[in-house]
Structure 1
């Protein structure tokens, strides 16, 4: 009988992308994979490699006000009951959580039914949901050897697997980085997720307009933006005489990363892992209001290893960003060295290590 693995992931790229990578690997190993997530996953399409996808009610603690806390607990309780019924129906051999509060109901329901559980932490800082779940999970997979806020009681159940990346990302790992040629075009890729795209839409057009004309006319910008910002952003680039392709989401993002001379992005764990897997130089602007500053930790570690540059948003102006872009894009040898260092940092075996852990917990086929 085919063994079933249920993956639980919040509906953001940071959670769904490593879950996708694990689903691809487990499928190759003969497991049946199913997914429990929330309604946000719909923005990433319906092509998740799972036999079935389920929506489980969940909520995030956004306020300490008693009424708000009670409302959140009530929705999580509803999610727990829904998840328990789901697990009784699916009967998975292992439940794997990828963080975020949508992971809480399935993992807790699995514990109540004595189903083995794994949680995976993508960031250098353990997320709040994972901190809570680490008390109960049978195993914890980490992306970094030193992970902040990992409970001492959970350390003995932890392994360092790395952060899995999807097959479509790995397929571009062997594409060599081509630094800008003299007088050739400068292809800049900009993305930042739904929370991060607004800042880039505001600051990048004026920054690029201030660049020396010899560099500005060579620019081609490919940028992700919120739907409500698209028209204004396109107009700003047109007024600055900068070639730009702007869209709310790129389904072929790995290919666009591979083609870029420089990537400007937020510093979510999956973003950093994919940049390293392909090996491209990146200017990272961590999301300033990210919980526990996890993005700053991710960006700092990449910068310290020579695989990119970190600019805190609070210190960015169009003027100093323009100077930094001119410096980076005007140094093709430095871009190439940074790309090589980024690529050398990638843990391309992460998905195999995580799949090995899941397979061990699943036990032999019945």
Structure 2
């Protein structure tokens, strides 16, 4: 039963990278629509999202990552996490939330941990196909573990009974309630993205692969590519030399529009990229970032590939010729592109936000029932 429209306080805890903040943003907006008071506890990077969430109360706490750094920095980071714990504990006592939701990132550890010690209902959400390090710290202590992908690893055997498959919250501009994909024989739109900062290796690899395609295919290609600022002029010249129509930028604010127009996407396999691709129902060649923590991007890509919803090409084995051969085959078989696009769309969970809100309401109702019997 839905919670009455009282102004319950909800706290969202998330580290400040896009992979954690985008789903947190999607949830926050829907909670506001349902008349909840929403608070975000994050780190310095997360404060940059304040313009996108003007109705959300945003608080910054101390936090530091401890992966892959030297001993002194690990000690310093642990001290920051302890400091962040006491800062979060103070804020939680002040806010008195009904539920605390962690979206990962080291900034979520102090807040969710403090919530468990204060007997506040807790939920963590994992965006990737491998439970992140912050969420692994918290998994034994929280009430619910919400998953984006059923193939998620490193949950821990004793925690499987508290997992719920909900999907990854996505902003409304990416939601497509019906499937639509049209391969254009005159123009082939390829979208190339490389995560929040772009990818330098793509700036060399993609033009070289395009150059190896037969002329009749090459002349139909239109490229939209995310590049690092310092690589744009060089990459633009490469495409100009090939007579390829190319639009390059360090960041695309209207990425949903570009996804909509694309016939094929070449990109990394971060959680946000994968979620947006399947939500829009587009075929993709996924090139996982080889140095991602726990190799989670490979796991994300494999979670799509086992359903024939994408193709994976490991960067360490990739050459311009291999990529070009694969592109050539796909463009000769547009029915395969359409089938893969549909398989991707079929994996989407556009109701992810509502599923999480339902879990939140269940926890609130459960708390109300306990209070009424005491």
State the TM-score bracket (shorter-chain normalisation). over 0.9
1:63 corresponds to 2:65: no
Structure 1 residues 120-162: Cα deviation after superposition (integer angstroms, max 9, x where no partner): 1112211111111112112111123342111223222222222
Partner in structure 1 of residue 178 of structure 2: 174
Distance across 1 between alignment mates of 2:223 and 2:347:
27
CA contact (8 A) 1:99 1:129 kept: yes
5+ long unaligned stretches in structure 1: none
Partner in structure 2 of residue 273 of structure 1: 275
State how 1:20-39 maps to structure 2 within 5 Å. Answer: 20-39=25-44
CA contact (8 A) 1:262 1:329 kept: no
Distance across 2 between alignment mates of 1:272 and 1:330:
25
5+ long unaligned stretches in structure 2: 1-5
Distance across 2 between alignment mates of 1:63 and 1:302:
28
Please say which of residues 121-130 and 109-118 is displaced more in the overlay. Answer: 109-118
| TM-score normalised over the length of structure 2 | 0.90
Q: Against the structure 1 CA distance between its residues 304 and 63, is the aligned structure 2 distance closer, same or farther, given a 3 Å change threshold? A: closer
Question: Structure 1 residue 110: deviation in Å?
Answer: 1.7
Please say which of residues 319-328 and 63-72 is displaced more in the overlay. Answer: 63-72
State how 1:1-366 maps to structure 2 within 5 Å. Answer: 1-41=6-46, 46-48=51-53, 50-63=55-68, 65-170=70-175, 172-174=176-178, 176-181=180-185, 184-194=186-196, 197-363=199-365
Partner in structure 1 of residue 3 of structure 2: none
SS at match of 2:340: helix
Q: Against the structure 1 CA distance between its residues 239 and 85, is the aligned structure 2 distance closer, same or farther, given a 3 Å change threshold? A: farther
CA contact (8 A) 2:304 2:344 kept: yes
CA contact (8 A) 1:281 1:335 kept: yes
CA contact (8 A) 1:38 1:55 kept: yes
After superposition, the CA RMSD in angstroms is 2.1
Question: Structure 1 residue 175: deviation in Å?
Answer: 6.2
Aligned residues between the structures: 363
Q: Against the structure 1 CA distance between its residues 178 and 276, is the aligned structure 2 distance closer, same or farther, given a 3 Å change threshold? A: same
Question: Structure 1 residue 198: deviation in Å?
Answer: 1.8
Distance across 1 between alignment mates of 2:359 and 2:250:
36
SS at match of 1:101: coil
Q: Against the structure 1 CA distance between its residues 185 and 146, is the aligned structure 2 distance closer, same or farther, given a 3 Å change threshold? A: closer
Distance across 2 between alignment mates of 1:130 and 1:295:
16
Q: Against the structure 1 CA distance between its residues 44 and 259, is the aligned structure 2 distance closer, same or farther, given a 3 Å change threshold? A: farther
Structure 1 residues 239-260: Cα deviation after superposition (integer angstroms, max 9, x where no partner): 3221111112112112211110
Distance across 1 between alignment mates of 2:358 and 2:42:
23
Q: Against the structure 1 CA distance between its residues 58 and 12, is the aligned structure 2 distance closer, same or farther, given a 3 Å change threshold? A: same
Structure 1 residues 257-286: Cα deviation after superposition (integer angstroms, max 9, x where no partner): 111010111112232122111111111111
